Amino acid sequence: QVQLVESGGGLVQPGGSLTLSCVASGITFSTYSMRWYRQAPGKERELVAAITSLRGATNYADSVKGRFTISRVDTKNTVYLQMNNLKSEDTAVYYCNAVRNSQYWGQGTQVTVSS
């Protein structure tokens, strides 16, 4: 059974930082590209950041470039999203996604940026 379990969300003030983690089980993690998506209330789910398998190439949504960093540790079956200089518009549920021939989703973790 495949599971993706996110953690690290919470309430943070504007300008603050959070690090999200996603631990995968039931898949050969190192062979999957990993992505973080987010969905704000009333909006469509959007891709925030992605990292490929093997070479670990990354790409980011324009709205988070220079503020967010995606990374992975294959020996821990874990992908991270380091989020700095958070803004109110970053408030959303953040989802972990694993993609190869098929794809899997985590349950999401809430990030709220508010003073």
Q: pLDDT tens, 18-37?
A: 999 999 999 999 999 999 99
Residue 114 contacts residue 88 (beta carbons within 8 Å): yes
Residue ranges in the chain whose pLDDT is less than 50: none
For 33, residues 6+ apart whose C-beta sits below 8 A from its C-beta are 50, 51, 52, 53, 98, 99, 100
What sign for the dihedral angle of Cα 21, 75, 105, 44? positive
Q: What is the pLDDT of residue 54?
A: 86
Alpha-carbon distance 97 to 114, whole Å?
A: 26
